Homo-oligomer: A and B are copies of this chain.
Amino acid sequence: MISVVILGSGNVAYHLTKAFLNTENVIVKQLYARSVAQIQEFQHTTSITDDISLLATADVYILAISDNAISEVSSHLQNKFVVHTSGSVTMNSLQNSGRKGVFYPLQSFSKSKQVNFNTIPFCLEAETTKDYQLLERLAKTIGSKIFSINSLQRSKLHVAAVFVNNFVNHMYTIGNDICDTYDVPFEVLLPLIEETSAKISAISPKDAQTGPAKRNDTETISKHLEMLNESQKEVYKLITKSIQNGEKL
Contacts and interface: CB of A to CB of B under 8 A. Distances in A.
A235 interface: yes
Contact of A166 (B160, B161, B181, B214): B214
Contacts of A200: 169, 172, 190, 193
A179 interface: yes
B169 A189 contact: no
Nearest to A200: B172
A182 B152 contact: yes
Interface stretch (A19-27, A30-38, A55-63, A222-230): A222-230
A171 B182 contact: no
A220 interface: yes
Contacts of A210: 108, 165-166, 169
A53 B17 CA distance: 71
A88 to B, nearest CB: 6
A189 B88 contact: no
A207 to B, nearest CB: 10
B184 A161 contact: no
Per CB-CB distance, the 6 closest pairs between chain A and chain B, nearest first, are A166-B211, A172-B205, A197-B197, A164-B175, A160-B175, A156-B182
Interface in A144-176: 145, 147, 149, 152-153, 155-176
Nearest to A164: B175
A209 B170 contact: yes
A209 B167 CA distance: 9
Contacts of A182: 152-153, 156-157
Contact of A163 (B123, B171, B190, B245): B171
Interface stretch (A71-79, A128-136, A236-244): A236-244
A168 B165 contact: no
A106 B156 contact: no
A186 B203 CA distance: 12
Contacts of A243: 166, 170
